[in-house]
Amino acid sequence: MAALSSRDPALVPYQPKLAPTATEAGKPLLAWRLRATSKDAVRVYLNANIHAGEVEGKEAAQVIMREFLQGLHPAARQHLDLVICPAYNADGTDALDPAIRKYQPNPESGVGRRENARGLDLNRDLMKAQAANTKWFLAMLQDFDPAVVFDLHTTNGSYHGFHLTYAPSLALGADPALLAFNRQLLNEVRDGLKTQGLPTYDYGNFRPENLKPGETPKGWETFDYRPRYLSNYPGLQDRLAILSEAYVHRSFPERIADTRAFVLACLDWIAGHRNEVRRVTGEARRHWLEGWPSRTPSLPLAADFERTESYQFEVVQPLKNIDGRVTGEASRAAFELPSFVTWAPAEFVPVPKGYLIDAAYAFKVRPVLEAHGIQVLNGSARPKAPLSFFHEADRNLASQAFQGIFGLTLKGAWTPAELPRPMAPHWTPEDLDRALYVPLEQPLGRVAFYLLDPRSPDGLVFWGFFHECLVRSDGAWGEPLRFPLVAVGAASGAAGPGPRPPAKKAE
Ligand SMILES: [Zn+2]
C-alpha cells in the first residue's frame, strides 16, 4: 500500500479523528483513502483480515486498489470514495504460523491468528468495544461516514458448491427498508456473477449442520442477527454492509480471485445505484427520527428464522488429507432446498424517551457510549416524564466465559414502581440529576437502545458492564443494590419469553 501511495498521490494514509493509532500491543492501525474523481460520490469502507488467518481479503483489497490506480475500473473510481484497511487485526496479521488453519491451502509462510494479542475475537467486539481496533472502526464510521461497509473473510469448513458466500447486515432492529435494499444489492450481484461462472449465495450451513455421507439436507440457514459482528453492526447505524466469505477449500490464488471479483461486482453495483444508496440510507435515518416525541418507535428483542426462498444447493463429499485439507471430491449432489437467510423480528417493545445510568458507572459506560458516537447528557437534562424501573423476571448467567465475560441474559419489564426493598438505596432527585442521560431521540438511538436496554441480547448488561451490581457473590452482605438503569418515559412492554440469542456461530 505504501508503494502504491508513493506512485500515485491520490492514495493517501487515512486515520480517523480521535481514534487510537495502534493496537494495545503497539501494532499500527493502517488505512488508506482514495477519493472519488467526481463530486457525486458514495463513501465505501473495505475491511480485511479481522480474522487474520483468513487472508485473501487482505490480498484482494490491495489488488483492487492497484487496479483502481491503473484505471481499470473507471465507473467505480469516479463515483466511489474509498477507505481500505487491509490488516484490521494488526496483531494477528503479523503472527504468521504454518500450523494455523492447516485445512486451508495457505501461502508457505502460513497465515496469521484469528484473535488479537489480548485473545479477543474482534468480530464479536462491536457492541462492547473493548479493543482499540473496534474504537478505531467506530471512530471511522463517524469521521468518514461510509454508506457501505465491507468485511472480508474465509469460511471455516462446511462443504458446499459456492465459491464465495456473503451476507447483508442482519442487524436486529435496523430499518426494514434498508435491510431489504441491502439484500437486493446482493441478490443482483449474485445473479450477475452466476452468469460469469462464479456461484455465490448467502453465507450459511446446511440443516442439519454436520451432514452424514448420503444424508439429505433439509435446508440452508445463515448466521445470527446480533450487532456484535462487524458486518451486522452498520445496519444499526443506517448503513449498508457486505460480509464476504471466500470458500476455504479453494486454492489461495482462487480465493483471492473470487474475493476480488465479488467485491468489484458489489462496487460496480454501488456506483451504478449511488442515488438509491444515498436515498435509502438517508430515509432510514429520517424514519428513526420522525414523529418524536408524540410517536415513539418499537424495537424487537429477538427474531425468528423465516423461509426466504427455494434455491439450488450442492452437497460436496470431500476427500481429505491428514491435515483435513480437501484433495478432491468423492461425490457431489444437487438439491432444491428452502433457504432461511432472513430473520423475522419478534418481541417488539416500545422504546422509552431515554435511559438514566447510575453515576457510579459513568466512568466505564460513558466512554463506550461516546466511542459509538452516542450523545450523552447529564441526568438533570432529562425530560419531565414518568420514570420506569426494571423488574427482573428471570435470568441466565452463562456457565462459560466468552471473550473473557460470563454473559448475563435478563428477562423482565419496565414498570412505574420501584421494587419494594426497604434496605436498598433508593433513587433520590440528586441521584437522578447526577446520572448520565441518553436520549433515544438522536441519530444513533437504535444503537443506544441495544446497548442500554437490559433485555438486549448484545447490550452492556449482557457484556458484564454492571456485573459487580447484578451478579452477586456468595456471602454478599444485605440486599442487592438498586438496578443501575432507569427508563425515562413510557417503556412498558410484557416480560415476554425474553431474548433468544441464537446459538448459530458465524465464521
Ligand atoms: Zn472470519
Ligand 1 centroid from CA 419, angstroms:
44
Ligand 1 centroid from CA 155, angstroms:
7
Q: How confident is the model at residue 349 (pLDDT cuts 50, 70, 90)?
A: very high
- Give φ, ψ of 43 to 5 degrees: -90, 130
Alpha carbon 236 to its chain centroid, in Å, reads 9
| CA–CA separation, 200 and 247 (whole Å) | 10
Taking 70 as the threshold, does the pLDDT of residue 503 lie above it?
no
pLDDT at 331: 86
Which pLDDT tens digit goes with each residue over 301-344? 999 999 999 999 999 888 888 888 888 888 899 999 999 999 99
pLDDT at 64: 98
Ligand 1 centroid from CA 138, angstroms:
19
pLDDT at 505: 56
Domain ranges of the chain: 2-298, 352-488
Ligand 1 centroid from CA 55, angstroms:
10
Mean pLDDT along residues 355-365: 98
Mean pLDDT along residues 141-153: 98
Q: How confident is the model at residue 430 (pLDDT cuts 50, 70, 90)?
A: very high
Residue 307: count of CB within 10 angstroms of its CB: 13
* Predicted TM-score of the model (pTM): 0.96
| Interior angle at CA 73, CA 191 and CA 244, nearest 5 | 45
Q: How confident is the model at residue 499 (pLDDT cuts 50, 70, 90)?
A: low
Ligand 1 centroid from CA 343, angstroms:
21
Ligand 1 centroid from CA 340, angstroms:
21
The residue among 249 and 474 whose pLDDT is bigger is 249
Mean pLDDT along residues 448-454: 98
pLDDT at 504: 56
Spell out the residues 6+ positions from residue 64 whose beta carbon is closer than 8 angstroms to its own.
46, 73, 260, 263, 264, 267
**Exposure class string for 310-341: b at 16+ Cβ within 10 A, else e:** eeebebeebeeeeeebbeeeeeeeeeebebbb
Ligand 1 centroid from CA 341, angstroms:
18
pLDDT at 328: 86
Taking 80 as the threshold, does the pLDDT of residue 477 lie above it?
no
Taking 70 as the threshold, does the pLDDT of residue 16 lie above it?
yes
Mean pLDDT along residues 231-252: 97
As a residue count, the chain comes to: 507
pLDDT at 307: 98
pLDDT at 501: 56
The three grid cell numbers given for residue 30, joined into one nine-digit string: 493502517
pLDDT at 490: 76
Q: Which of 122, 134, 145, 146 is nearest to 19 (CA)?
A: 134
Ligand 1 centroid from CA 108, angstroms:
20
Ligand 1 centroid from CA 50, angstroms:
7
Ligand 1 centroid from CA 109, angstroms:
19
Which pLDDT tens digit goes with each residue over 243-264? 999 999 999 999 999 999 999 9
**Exposure class string for 198-237: b at 16+ Cβ within 10 A, else e:** bbbbbbbbbbeeebeeeeebebbbbbbbbbbbbbbbbbbb
- Which CATH number, 3.40.630.10, 3.40.50.300, 3.90.1580.10, 3.30.160.150, labels domain 2-298? 3.40.630.10
| CA–CA separation, 309 and 202 (whole Å) | 11
Q: Residues 488, 356: contact at Cβ < 8 Å?
A: yes
Ligand 1 centroid from CA 53, angstroms:
8
pLDDT at 500: 60
- Is residue 187 classed exposed, middle or buried when 0-12, 13-18 and 19+ CB atoms within 10 A define those classes? middle
Per-residue CA distances from 315 to 19, 163, 180, 211, 359 (Å): 45, 13, 28, 9, 55
Ligand 1 centroid from CA 229, angstroms:
10
pLDDT at 308: 97
Ligand 1 centroid from CA 114, angstroms:
8
**DSSP β-ladder status, 408-415 and 436-439:** unpaired
Taking 90 as the threshold, does the pLDDT of residue 178 lie above it?
yes
Which pLDDT tens digit goes with each residue over 64-74? 999 999 999 99
Q: Which of 244, 261, 254 is nearest to 194 (CA)?
A: 261
pLDDT at 257: 98
pLDDT at 277: 98
Ligand 1 centroid from CA 348, angstroms:
31
Which pLDDT tens digit goes with each residue over 267-277? 999 999 999 99
Ligand 1 centroid from CA 88, angstroms:
12
**Exposure class string for 479-504: b at 16+ Cβ within 10 A, else e:** eebbbbbbbbbbbebeebebbebbee
E strand or H helix at 368: helix 362-371
Spell out the residues 6+ positions from residue 460 whose beta carbon is closer than 8 angstroms to its own.
127, 128, 365, 368, 451, 452, 466
pLDDT at 125: 98
| CA–CA separation, 265 and 254 (whole Å) | 16
Ligand 1 centroid from CA 151, angstroms:
9
Mean pLDDT estimate for the chain: 94
Q: How confident is the model at residue 348 (pLDDT cuts 50, 70, 90)?
A: very high
pLDDT at 493: 56
Ligand 1 centroid from CA 433, angstroms:
44
Ligand 1 centroid from CA 405, angstroms:
21
